Structure 1
């Protein structure tokens, strides 16, 4: 999360949605009462297919028969039979977002060449080749001659090279998505001819050569409603613009650039803006220098990972200057904002869903009014200097999925009826504080809880034996507390548990056969406790997914069991500072 910028779902204009539906209605023209496809256009599609690599036979099995209007991904006009849409965007896992490129072992990717036979589709309005793997071929110049195109999506298709200025000839274009291409531009002046353009995404395209005049070129597009220039190596954000033509702009994403400047005032004069993404762009601004009250329609404000300073009270006070604040998402993590959260003005952000203020220098308590933010789904105040007790008002946030309050100075005990009030909670992180008392029984009765972090506090007592009602719980970290006693057997009844960290406590006892049921663990850390007896052989026989095993600084004795050699996924094994004897198994 900390390395990424958060974005919402794209909402295409109504006419684009209509064209998309037309493209996906693969068999809509098969009725005898409707015209079949035109012969020259069928031939053009066959030639186009010959240039493609299609390892899975996706097109070979579906592009059959004389009526190309029934072929997968081909959309025809119901009245004339002309091909108007070609939708071959890969909706599977051809492009793996986690690794950032197309896996070579995947057979669903289309590749090869993009044939110029497409020029014979004279009525083509919609072309989507996104999320395929064309393995570094150049973006075809001839695309600029498909004069009726209104929708062009080549995103994440492994195309490279300079973006052809010929695309500026597409005077009907309303949607252009070139996200994720290894490409660059010499300038952006070719955009001037695209006056109807409503959606433009050049994310990760190298705009270094256009960095001095990129804004002037884009300012010539009066119809633009969504502009995304994330990670384009821009370094110039003008402080003044004579005339702003972005009267329709609702989404602006210029994050992950290197502006190294303050946020310009003109940005907050675009009253139509609904979403602003400026994260990781080296912005240096005081909250007092920004006219927050000018953007009353704003729903998303993403300023994550910049150098914004000033009083959080002033920032929130400015955002609620509008009589009915529409703000839903405020991402302000990893900045230098200070002060205390205001009580009255915070409560007026009634539509807030995400409030992320982590890694700042905010101090003081959480105001009681937090409980009035009934739509809140994520609250992250971690890595600040906040103190006091966690208010009961947080328990009123019935829609909260993520509660991250770690690494502050909270005191007192853990919201006891948390299972009855926070029914939607999935992640609870209270680690790195000064909380005391015992682990409340209700924590083990939360149906949707998936991650529980309570490490590095002053929690005491035994780990309770009521964990059977948390079927989603996969991560438990209770390390660095004052817990004592044995590990309760019910922990191993959690079907989703894969990560268990109980190190640096005063836990004791032998690892009984009840612990044998924790077969799904990938990480087990029991270090710095008082466990004794032999290292159980069942760990090597039954914990076959284990990648980390840490049981250092206990009182285990006897031999190291050879069964540990069966743990083929094991990367970390720490048995130090015990009373072990015998030889180290040669297989280790």
Structure 2
């Protein structure tokens, strides 16, 4: 379903229409038509125009003296005064509509400065500057002097096109304002620290502060707005309001007349405020994308019986699907991306109290629903938009499900729901269907003409299966022409070929085409390309067998994405692709058979962000004579025959994030400016070239670098000791990897001993340093042990010497370690046994000595070849160490061992007996005082007897 970016629903349109109607009556005079405005006002408008950049010529009519006939100007017919200045962007923004074109929108924007000459327009009531590009401009404070204004619209759609800075409090002087709009679809660069000036706008009925940062206002924002008694619409989406700024109750609630309240996209993590349950006049309530600690209670929300539109998506709702009781006026309901239990049947039972159901739009996507698709949806007789995607239905689509859907349904989304089986033929009876999304399920079988028989209004079709066997378009009539005229066609793993069928060539109104793995071969029909050229925006024909020369692409004014990868195109890349399609963002020609040089005209792509021409036979130097597009974020040119040095012109690509030039014939050294000019790199692949010289230490200045692959070159010198400056490899966390390609980006790396392909987000989780197959020497720097987030370290086939770093066990995320074919010596560090994730190890062909460490993870790596050709290395899984053999038991030694064991037992018993006896006596004497006295008296008595006996013995001896 298309989402229109007009922050005001029905009530705003009514207000707008009423205002324009009143303005028209005040301006019109039935007897005469005014053409000339006041001279001073005409001059003021021309001065205002001079400061504007009008690239599309919207103000070209602003010439001559008949200024009341100029575009955007309305005069009062009686006084000839300018009363309305409407300079909104005529190209309306429609997000999530594949037909909408950003280039057309951008070209229609006014830019520049806003001259205070507008102050001459003393009777100006209506000023609309919305939808333009006034980035880095503050809202002029002189607007506060236009005191006759009743309507002021400064809204924008894109945050980088909006006004910046603080909203001037001088706008509080506009006491006649009925309508005030600063809204932006997402966060903007404008803010307010204090909204007290709002309280002076007592006539305000519409207020949109969407995207304005209110985080510094505390709770005062609510008190200021609560003083507007006439307010009917309030839009506060993406205002950075948190839970501390939203009190649970209000002393006096003056907002009870509100018809529309939009507080979506904030950071409200507190319980749901109770005062909102008293807004009984509300017709629209949007609280989506707020992490409420205690989400709104449906039992309380049912008090808002006037609600027609309710959005509670992404609000943390959990548990059983909710009962909506008396909300029988609901026309649209969005509960997407919550965590419910049960299925659609339980949800629909909540509307059993509604005698007449008015539901037109229902979004239950990504809610964790299970079970079967319910036939009870047939009770929603007015349903036009149904989104059940992203759930776990797992069954098939029953015939009765389609049969019970309202004949008026326009949007049906069942993608990513684990559905299986064949698609029912009665899909063709939904003759009002405009959007059909059946992507990423487990479909099988075939499609015939019957599936599309009555889909006369179909404009967007998304269909793909995740099964290995494709869906087959089994059309009985080769010349069949469908009844629809598609704008978007996205088919993946659907067998359409072998050629371009006539039904496809009949679709001449396409703006986006995706025919991925569609079994198409042969050449692209030029007549078909020519017919869609004027409106086509994205063209993805990847993973087919399309052959021949690349088509001559001409007159493609809005094309921003080309993906012809994984086909059989040959010949050269025509320069017309560059000169005729200056709007290109993505260009993918990888895995074809293209040859020749890359066109030097690629510098004309001023907006290009993604270029992939890898795995072809392109040759020569990468052209830089006309410049390199500075907008580049991703360049993949690996596995071609490019030669020469790495172009210094890449220094201008300061935003470059991924650079892959591997598998070519580049020579010279690695430029040191890569570390200083390309500081945002997260992937640098220069493998399999003829690069020489040292690894520049400036590469350590790349804080985002996750993959560094310099393998298979002629690099010499030492490994830089500053590798511990690679911040992204120091700690694991969320990856900053962004997928810029419209198609699926693939990154090929060597890990676990083999080349592997990783798709999009998965590649962003890789952390690799590969310096193998070079001529590096000296020791492995101990600083490598600091890279605790590293997943793969490959330093094999160099001339490294010395010991393996003692603390290599600190790399606790390491899965692959290859240090083979070097001259490393010493023992294998015991810390290596700490690597619990290690699944691939190779230390072969070195000079390592001593015992292989034991450890639970190392014991799973039982292949002796990972340690081979280290003559002085021993221990499992290699033969035992010599000291182990010295202690092997012999038969003659068994008796000695037994005697030793007996003697050991005797001595142990004696020692234990002595200890026990000693402490039995001494311990008792220490603890009992009376025993202690008696003992020492006894000891003294014995001592006297012994002394007397000795004296008698001496006297007897003397007598002899």
TM-score between the two structures when normalised by the length of structure 2: 0.51
Distance 2:111 2:564 in 1: 43
Q: Does 1:204 align with 2:216?
A: no
Identify the match of residue 370 of structure 2 among 350, 354, 363. 363
1:326 matches 2:329: yes
CA offset digits 1:250-301 (Å, max 9, x no partner):
1111111111233323223211111112222223445656513111111111
Aligned-pair Cα RMSD in Å: 4.2
Q: Contact 2:4–2:94 (CA<8 Å) still a contact in 1? A: no
For 1:438, the equivalent position in structure 2 comes to 446
Cα deviation, 1:408-447, whole Å, max 9, x if unaligned, reads 343443242221x201223333344444443343234433
Whether 1:475 and 2:483 are equivalent positions in the alignment is no
Could you say which residue in structure 2 is the equivalent of 1:83?
Answer: 82
Change (3 A) 1:34 1:444: closer
Q: Shift of residue 397 of structure 1?
A: 2.4
Contiguous gaps of at least 5 residues in structure 1? 528-534, 553-559, 577-582
Report the CA distance between 1:401 and its aligned residue: 2.3
Secondary structure of the residue aligned to 1:62 is: coil
Partner of 2:248: 239
**Residue 495 of structure 1 aligns with which residue?**
507
Per-residue CA deviation, residues 25-62 of structure 1 (Å, 9 max, x unaligned), is: 99966965879645554554455445555556654633
Matches within 5 A, 1:76-475: 76-92=75-91, 106=107, 109=110, 111-115=112-116, 117-156=117-156, 158-180=162-184, 182-235=189-242, 236-286=245-295, 288=297, 290-312=299-321, 315=322, 317-318=323-324, 320-322=325-327, 325-341=328-344, 342=346, 343-346=348-351, 348=354, 350-391=357-398, 392-395=400-403, 396-419=405-428, 421-445=429-453, 446-449=455-458, 450-457=460-467, 462-465=472-475, 468-473=481-486, 474-475=488-489
Given that 1:22 and 1:85 are in contact with CA atoms closer than 8 Å, whether structure 2 keeps it comes out as no
| Deviation of 1:166 (Å) | 1.4
Change (3 A) 1:133 1:74: same
Contact 2:92 2:105 survives alignment (8 Å): no
- Measured at CA, do residues 332 and 93 of structure 1 come closer, stay the same or move farther in structure 2, by a change above 3 Å? closer
Greater shift, 169-178 or 517-526, is seen at 517-526
Q: Give the equivalent residue in structure 1 for 2:873.
A: none
Range with bigger deviation, 20-29 or 222-231? 20-29
Q: Whole-Å Cα distance in 2 between the matches of residues 5 and 111 of structure 1?
A: 24
What is the 5 A alignment of 1:6-85?
9=9, 11-12=11-12, 16-20=16-20, 32=32, 37-38=37-38, 41-42=41-42, 44-49=44-49, 51-54=51-54, 58-59=58-59, 61-65=61-65, 68-85=67-84
Distance change (3 Å), C-alpha of 1:574 and 1:485: same
User: Which one is further off, 241-250 or 402-411?
Assistant: 402-411
Structure 2 distance, partners of 1:46, 1:543, is: 42
Instruction: Tell me if structure 2 keeps the 8 A contact 1:26–1:70.
Output: no
Bigger mean CA offset, 12-21 vs 127-136: 12-21
Q: CA deviation at 1:460?
A: 7.3
Q: Partners in 2 of 1:47 and 1:462 — Cα distance? A: 64
- Structure with greater contact order relative to length (CA < 8 Å, sep ≥ 6): 1
C-alpha separation in 2, matches of 1:224 and 1:412: 53
* Cα distance between partner residues in 1 of 2:284 and 2:290: 16
State the match for 1:522 in structure 2.
Answer: 539
- Compared with structure 1, are the counterparts of its residues 585 and 188 closer, same or farther at alpha carbon in structure 2 (3 Å cutoff)? closer
Report the alpha carbon displacement of residue 245 of structure 1 after superposing the two structures with TM. Answer: 1.0
Q: Deviations over 1:205-259 (max 9, x none)?
A: 1212114322121111111111111111111322222222112211111111111
Gap change, CA 1:139 and 1:436, over 3 Å in 2:
closer
Distance change >3 Å, CA 269–CA 259, structure 1 → 2: same
Question: Is 1:563 aligned to 2:566, yes or no?
Answer: no
- The answer for unaligned runs of 5 or more in structure 2 is 533-537, 578-585, 594-615, 621-639, 641-960
Given the alignment, which residue of 570, 578, 590 partners 1:573? 590
User: What's the CA shift string for 1:121-146, capped at 9, x where partnerless?
Assistant: 33322222223344533322222222
Name the CA distance, whole Å, in 2 between partners of 1:33 and 1:564: 63
Aligned counterpart, 1:548:
563
Are 1:414 and 1:440, in contact at CA under 8 Å, matched by a contact in 2? no
Aligned residues: 553
Structure 1 281/58 Cα, relative in aligned 2: closer, same or farther at 3 Å? Answer: same
Instruction: Provide the C-alpha distance between the structure 1 equivalents of 2:108 and 2:443, rounded to a whole number of angstroms.
Output: 52
Bigger drift between 220-229 and 493-502 goes to: 493-502
- Give the structure 1 partner of residue 824 of structure 2: none
SS in 1 for 2:319: strand
8 Å Cα contact 1:69-1:75 kept in structure 2: yes
Q: TM-score under structure 1 normalisation? A: 0.80
Deviations 1:327-381 (A, max 9, x none): 1111121121222223444575722222111112112222212123232222111
Aligned twin of 2:802: none
Query: How far is 1:403 from its partner?
Result: 1.6
Distance 1:77 1:355, change over 3 A: same
State whether residues 90 and 108 of structure 2, in contact with CA within 8 Å, keep that contact through their aligned partners in structure 1.
Answer: no
Name the CA distance, whole Å, in 2 between partners of 1:464 and 1:110.
Answer: 53
Distance, in Å, in 1 between the alignment partners of 2:589 and 2:430 is 36
Cα contact 1:94–1:102 (8 A) shared by 2:
no
SS in 1 for 2:144: helix
1:59-98 deviations in Å (ceiling 9; x for gaps): 4633532x65444433333444443322233324799999
**357-366 vs 484-493, greater mean Cα deviation:** 484-493
Change (3 A) 1:142 1:566: closer
- Contact kept, 8 Å, 1:202 with 1:229, in 2: the verdict is yes
8 Å contact kept, 1:286–1:308: yes
Alpha-carbon distance between aligned partners in 2 of 1:228 and 1:427, rounded to the nearest angstrom: 29
Larger mean CA deviation between 439-448 and 455-464 belongs to: 455-464
Quick check: 214-223 or 386-395, which moved more? Answer: 386-395
Q: Is the 8 A contact 2:552 2:574 kept in 1?
A: no
Contact 2:91 2:108 in 1 (8 A): no
- CA distance in 2 between partners of 1:249 and 1:430 (Å): 39
User: Whose Rg is larger?
Assistant: 2
Looking at structure 2, the residues matched to 338 and 199 of structure 1 have their Cα atoms a distance apart, in angstroms, of 39
Q: Tell me, in whole angstroms, the C-alpha distance in 2 between the residues paired with 1:366 and 1:524.
A: 33
Q: Secondary structure at the match of 1:267?
A: helix
Distance of 1:575 and 1:60 partners within structure 2: 48
Question: For the structure 1 residues 4 and 358, does the alpha-carbon distance in structure 2 shift closer, same or farther, using more than 3 Å as the test?
Answer: farther
